[in-house]
Structure 1
């Protein structure tokens, strides 16, 4: 039998999805894979019902249905202030996952280097490797998960073709400040590097932190490839609607990659989602309020366990230090939490280049009753932690 591609031996399957399967097997409350257990906005539900009876059941335009792209361009313009041409600046993808792969393959040649901040969402390194590029890592330092400029300068000195910036960040909840982004831009300009941003949590940011769109920084638009999705903002992770936003010359190339990867995103779902993109500002304000309450509730639950954690600035994840539970590593702790406590979290080591094995990532994109039920189970951690002292 012929051998499979050598590059596939460099990374594993998704640890997040594997944790979800284990949670399902043992009936644990799933705080690992980041999806809500509540319905999306009514405008999406009614739009879906309408689309099911509509005519759009065949291929849409490969790079996105015109009505969807028009609504998407309007929404992006509203929040960024940029002039977005729906026909020139956008390609609609199957979620931000495909958007990132399209961006990476559009920007990079085999043998190029790509900077990735660590901890990182597990797809980023895999995307680089699958594109034939080599990831190089810059550590983010807790508790604020900022970077050391010397580390960044050393990484850029290797002349990378691109840098990936997830903002707000999964898994750390880091929100990059304007000053930090300007520092990244300074080096990107110096070394003529693409900046690939992943921004699906753009509207889930906690005061006093603010989300800054990288492509709105002075001189940044022409070197920025923005990836995003509707998944988190509208609670539709299963719809797989994402997009790439970039200069027209970049999108012309990105559309080729997208066409041969997936042909196009689901036509009925694009039709159904137009109304969501036209929701008023009050929707996004309420979204922030809702997630702030969920964060506060879950952090209160974690304080009851006595385990240290990092308070997220954005997104809906919390990194919890499980050192005091006495396990040899985070994988063993995660499996025990699922099988014995009934709550699933992701081993933090799957997000780090460094040998970090004392963290578990939980998410709180759940109904209040779900979080409280998880809290009742997690209460047992305080007993175990105290016994280990």
Structure 2
């Protein structure tokens, strides 16, 4: 029953309270999702989304199935099962010499994206600024904006994606709270060198900033490159929020399994916000990932890098033959290619023209840049099974008459 004493303010008398939030009008479907849907509708080959449809390691798959069958299907602790937290801590120690307490400094997340979301909720306030490097992963920008945090892009050099330290310093303001570093990077395949990573760390220390890292492509490095874990640098462990996951390494993008390792001072709040949004990551899948960390040998990780370097070579060669000049990535599993030969006034139009002509889906480069940039670039994902990748390459070559 209406409250008889309530009187609507004059400003509300002739208006509805039913309206979208301040954030919603600017929220649109990501170009990655849009191109995946367009590709699916025509039965094309999807090189747009980083789905990584290569086979799941047998030990990972078998343990997940066994967990379902033995009844490990209920809620876990909000920061994940003890077995997986211990395995993640052991992995960080073995790979990088980083010691994290699995009880207080490791959180299993519903994907790396959820890990970033929880970390931002715990550590940032509306109006804070976070510096990231352009080209950037659109979900990083969108996650920050969804929490009313301002992303501040700093452009990498166009020729080789080199870090401009002066530009980084110039971007810092009194509202800057953190830097977000994605290495190896999506979409460029940029692997930050040790010198560049040390420069970023120096800025974090000088201005007392958090460093959020997205290291999910840590094992996808080529040509003898090295992945430098920023938390290993002097003074950086306490301020670095390490975000990674299993989607790419174990080819389980649909399982939504990631993790965060960070100093215990920050982890409690992060786990709280992850619980609030996701409750926990899927229980049986956590057991599958734990088995992978426990049982897969070092040669497995070396092999996936070698396999994807081979896929990279095939993709780069096909793009060159098609007249789409690629930038050869040092890591991750994407290629940015120059696409001015394609019809269309924008990258989105060029991507759709390519899909129509070849049945191969790519993503508009503009999805990874500030407004007005990236309009002559397309991003291609080469983490595909060989038959699909080879067919996509053959279709692309026909653009160039091959």
CA deviation map 1:117-138 (0-9, x unaligned): 1111111111111122111110
Q: Specify whether residues 324 and 340 from structure 1 end up closer, same or farther in structure 2 by C-alpha distance, changes over 3 A only.
A: closer
Map of 2:380 onto structure 1: 362
Matches of 1:192 and 1:143, distance apart in 2: 31
Q: 1:55 aligns with which of 66, 71, 77?
A: 71
Secondary structure at 1:325's aligned position in 2?
A: coil
Q: 1:289 aligns with which of 282, 302, 306?
A: 306
Map of 2:325 onto structure 1: 308
* Larger deviation, residues 50-59 vs 7-16: 7-16
CA contact (8 A) 2:323 2:341 kept: no
Q: Specify whether residues 11 and 150 from structure 1 end up closer, same or farther in structure 2 by C-alpha distance, changes over 3 A only.
A: farther
Secondary structure at 2:155's aligned position in 1?
A: strand
Matches of 1:122 and 1:55, distance apart in 2: 38
Greater gyration radius = 2
Matches of 1:35 and 1:132, distance apart in 2: 29
Secondary structure at 2:199's aligned position in 1?
A: helix
Matches of 2:210 and 2:398, distance apart in 1: 47
Map of 2:339 onto structure 1: 322
CA drift of 1:334 comes to 0.8
The answer as to 2:31 corresponding to 1:15 is: yes
CA drift of 1:159 comes to 4.2
CA drift of 1:104 comes to 1.4
Map of 2:247 onto structure 1: 231
Secondary structure at 1:135's aligned position in 2?
A: strand
CA contact (8 A) 1:156 1:187 kept: no
Report the TM-score when normalising by structure 1.
Answer: 0.96
CA contact (8 A) 1:294 1:365 kept: yes
Map of 1:252 onto structure 2: 268
Map of 1:167 onto structure 2: 183
Superposition misfits of 4+ residues, deviation over 4 angstroms: none
Map of 1:70 onto structure 2: 86
Q: 2:212 aligns with which of 191, 196, 200?
A: 196
CA contact (8 A) 1:231 1:238 kept: yes
CA contact (8 A) 2:213 2:243 kept: yes
CA contact (8 A) 2:130 2:177 kept: yes
Matches of residues 98-113 of structure 1 in structure 2 within 5 Å?
98-113=114-129
Matches of residues 109-128 of structure 1 in structure 2 within 5 Å?
109-128=125-144
Matches of 2:61 and 2:142, distance apart in 1: 34
Report the TM-score when normalising by structure 2.
Answer: 0.93
Map of 1:387 onto structure 2: none
Q: 1:4 aligns with which of 20, 32, 43?
A: 20
Secondary structure at 2:219's aligned position in 1?
A: coil
Q: 2:110 aligns with which of 75, 88, 94?
A: 94
CA drift of 1:315 comes to 0.2
The answer as to 2:333 corresponding to 1:333 is: no
Map of 1:153 onto structure 2: 169
The answer as to 2:271 corresponding to 1:271 is: no
CA contact (8 A) 1:28 1:339 kept: no
Matches of residues 23-62 of structure 1 in structure 2 within 5 Å?
23-62=39-78
Map of 1:134 onto structure 2: 150
Q: 2:233 aligns with which of 217, 228, 252?
A: 217
CA contact (8 A) 2:89 2:102 kept: yes
- Structure 1 gaps of 5+ residues are 385-389
CA RMSD of aligned residues (A): 1.4
Secondary structure at 2:181's aligned position in 1?
A: strand
Matches of 1:18 and 1:306, distance apart in 2: 25
CA drift of 1:158 comes to 4.5
* Larger deviation, residues 252-261 vs 231-240: 252-261
Secondary structure at 1:226's aligned position in 2?
A: strand
- Structure 2 gaps of 5+ residues are 1-15
CA drift of 1:295 comes to 0.8
Matches of 1:268 and 1:171, distance apart in 2: 31
CA contact (8 A) 2:314 2:393 kept: no
Matches of 1:18 and 1:36, distance apart in 2: 18
CA drift of 1:354 comes to 4.7
CA deviation map 1:89-112 (0-9, x unaligned): 111110001011111112211111
CA drift of 1:381 comes to 2.1
